[in-house]
Structure 1
Amino acid sequence: MSGPRTGSPNPDLVVEHVVPLPAFTGTEPCHNRPTEFFHDTYRQDQPEVRAALWECRHCPLAPVCLVWALANPALAREGIWGATTPRQRKALRTQVTARVGAARVDDTYRAAYATAVTKLQGQ
């Protein structure tokens, strides 16, 4: 995915959304400086990757964003989302599937998203 995070990741990619894209306020670092969150590689020893992960980790939307990225792998194939790299998200998806079973993954993401949104609204 390239370009700013505007709520319309890729209009040519048709997928069923398990959870909606987080409601960005426009003040998030990834929204204002999207190129800093998309790299050729995502090694955590790279200063630019560490910086993006740090900024993302301190964003109030990070938990909601992470669940969205886990639930929508086709849309979050690249980039730092929810303070994770593509490789970390792949590992997390595998862990979730192993824990709850493939049939319950979508419901698990929906529940996690609802919890994260509720916590965000309570801040």
Structure 2
Amino acid sequence: MSHIEPDVRFPFPAATVPTRCRRRPELFDLAFGDLGGDTKKAAQERLEQARQACSACPVVTACLRWALVNKPLTREGVFAGTTPGQRNVLRRRLADRIGPEWIEVLAARDQARREGAETARHTPLSVPQARVVRLDRELNGPLNLPPPLTAEEQRLNRNRLDAGLKAA
């Protein structure tokens, strides 16, 4: 049997703290057609628990991207709150919108973004740009990041994703 390697252009997402899928992998191990002895209702409950855990995950976007790109490695299980069937729908939608070479397009965009960030890191701000940054900090204070999503916001996002998948 041959070993399947992930696409190296899309690294597996890493979080600074252990994610729920790392702490409780059995929750996300739902094989298509194999409910592991569970009843359909119990399997649906496990799937909903996995989706709830994913909705609060700090790397959910990167996880979904990784799962979409690495189809041979994600034929089973829950990744970013999606089932294999839902991921297939999303892949088809990406192919329809971006084209059949959508993985290469995403890889090229990521590479351009990384190169731009690297260039920006090594290119000092011009004097006018530095003045604008200083004035912004003086007037507005430090950058305030938005608070984490509440449980209700997570539920709404999950419902939006489900509605989008059903519409596809």
Q: TM-score, normalised by structure 1?
A: 0.71
**Is the 1:18–1:72 contact (alpha carbons within 8 Å) kept by the matching residues of 2?**
no
Q: CA deviation at 1:108?
A: 2.3
Matched, 1:38 2:36: no
Counterpart CA distance in 1 for 2:65 and 2:13 is 9
Equivalent of residue 72 in structure 2, options 54, 71, 74:
74
**Is the 2:10–2:66 contact (alpha carbons within 8 Å) kept by the matching residues of 1?**
yes
Q: CA deviation at 1:23?
A: 1.4
The secondary structure found in structure 1 opposite 2:27 is helix
Q: TM-score, normalised by structure 2?
A: 0.54
The secondary structure found in structure 2 opposite 1:19 is coil
Q: CA deviation at 1:103?
A: 2.5
Q: Which amino acid aligns with 2:69?
A: A
Matched with 1:21 is: 12
Counterpart CA distance in 2 for 1:87 and 1:109 is 23
The secondary structure found in structure 1 opposite 2:71 is coil
Q: Supply the RMSD in Å over aligned alpha carbons.
A: 3.3
Q: CA deviation at 1:15?
A: 4.8
Structure 1 residue runs of 5 or longer lacking an equivalent are 1-10
Counterpart CA distance in 2 for 1:18 and 1:87 is 24
Q: Deviations over 1:80-112 (max 9, x none)?
A: 111211111000000000111113432225647
More helix by share: 2
Q: Deviations over 1:43-102 (max 9, x none)?
A: 898111011011111111101100111111111221111121111100000000011111
Query: Taking structure 1 as reference, are residues 15 and 66 closer, same or farther at Cα in structure 2, changes over 3 Å only?
Result: closer
Structure 2 residue runs of 5 or longer lacking an equivalent are 118-144, 147-168
Matched with 1:91 is: 89
Rg (Cα) greater in structure = 2
- The 5 Å alignment of 1:101-120 reads 101-108=99-106, 111=109
Report how many aligned residue pairs link the two structures.
108
